[in-house]
Amino acid sequence: MSSSYFVFNLFEGVIVRIMNNVYQLYVLLLLFLACSLLGKADEKDGFVQIFNGKTLKGWRSAPETTYKPWSVKNGVIRGEGQEDRLIYLVYSDDESLKDFELKFQYKMVTKGNTGVEIRTRPDKTNKRPFEGYHADIGHVGIGAGVLGAWDFHFGSGTRREFPCPRGTRLVIDSAGEGKAEKIKNAVTIEDIKRHDWNQCRIVAKGNFFQLWINNKLASEFTDNIRKGQLEKGFIGLQLHDKGMVVEFKDIYLKTL
């Protein structure tokens, strides 16, 4: 074989490697632009990213613990329960939120009970650390009374706490009595991913509240009670069980 043949093969190999590198850079550039456009689209819709993917700046753990239940790992918030008590990660940049929409993704790494407390305030009766309306989530199999439900965390002797399981529309009247009905085409357990990321959206507007999972309505309620309605407070991600691990990411907030 002639030397020109070897030179040609060498040149061809170099060109192929260059083209492969160019292609990889092109793919990375497209991914970067897609992520940037997604973030801008959220901002145009009025949503603001409240978790930067790097630190817990703008968040605080409550109540105080002897360990660090919340951390950031691989760009997501990771909650690890080491005690059998309620621990929250509070969004501290605005602790007097009233009307808003909250979007986020969550993943249950283990079995457990978690959720998002809204319009939250300290519980002066010490029944729980805080009072609040609670959007309940957890592992697939925990039951409709938790996963996709609304829960009510009121102080001892203050208000009745109604069940509002997944698939329920609840109306609490001005006298504090509740009436429930089924939601058509509500999210089902088959719509929720096991040990994978699920999308959630919480709506709080006046006395009306909704929880959506993977773009399907999970449960909702209207609170018409005259006395004891929670009008404003903070948002808190929840750890419920010892040994549980849950992760959150892509957290966006829009005030209404």
Q: Which of 99, 39, 14 is nearest to 252 (CA)?
A: 39
pLDDT tens across 205-219, in order? 999 999 999 999 999
The enclosing domain of 211 has a CATH number of 2.60.120.560
pTM of the model: 0.83
Mean pLDDT, to the nearest integer, of 235-242?
96
pLDDT in tens, 145-159: 999 999 999 999 999
Task: Identify the band that residue 7 occupies on the pLDDT scale cut at 50, 70 and 90.
Answer: very low
For the record, the structure tokens of 5 come out as 């043949």
User: Is the pLDDT reported for residue 40 higher than 90?
Assistant: no
- Looking at the fold, whether 26 and 108 belong to one and the same domain comes out as no
Please tell me whether residues 11 and 58 are part of one structural domain.
no
The percentage of residues in the chain with a pLDDT greater than 90, rounded to a whole number, is 79
Q: DSSP 3-state helix, strand, coil percentages of the chain (rounded to 5)?
A: 20, 40, 40
Considering the domain architecture, whether residues 144 and 91 belong to the same structural domain is answered as yes
Beta strands (DSSP E) in the chain are 48-49, 59-62, 70-73, 76-80, 87-91, 100-108, 113-122, 130-138, 150-153, 168-172, 178-182, 198-205, 208-213, 216-223, 234-239, 245-255
What is the extent of the structural domain holding 30?
Answer: 1-44
Same domain? For 145 and 211 the reply is yes
* 31 lies in the same domain as 54: no
Task: State how many domains the chain has.
Answer: 2
Q: Tell whether 3 and 106 lie within a shared domain.
A: no
- Give yes or no for residue 193 having a pLDDT over 90: yes
Question: How many Å apart are CA 177 and CA 121, to the nearest integer?
Answer: 23
Q: Are residues 10 and 89 in the same domain?
A: no
Regarding whether 131 and 15 lie in a shared domain, the answer is no
Cα-Cα end-to-end distance for the chain = 76
Cis status of the peptide bond prior to 63, with omega within 30 of 0? yes
Residues 102 and 159 in one domain: yes
CB within 8 A of 65, min separation 6: which ones? Answer: 82, 83, 87
Q: Mark whether 5 and 119 lie in a shared domain.
A: no
Radius of gyration of the chain (CA): 23
Do β-strands 130-138 and 216-223 pair in parallel, antiparallel, or remain unpaired? unpaired
Q: Are residues 80 and 185 in the same domain?
A: yes
Kindly state whether residues 15 and 81 are assigned to the same domain. no
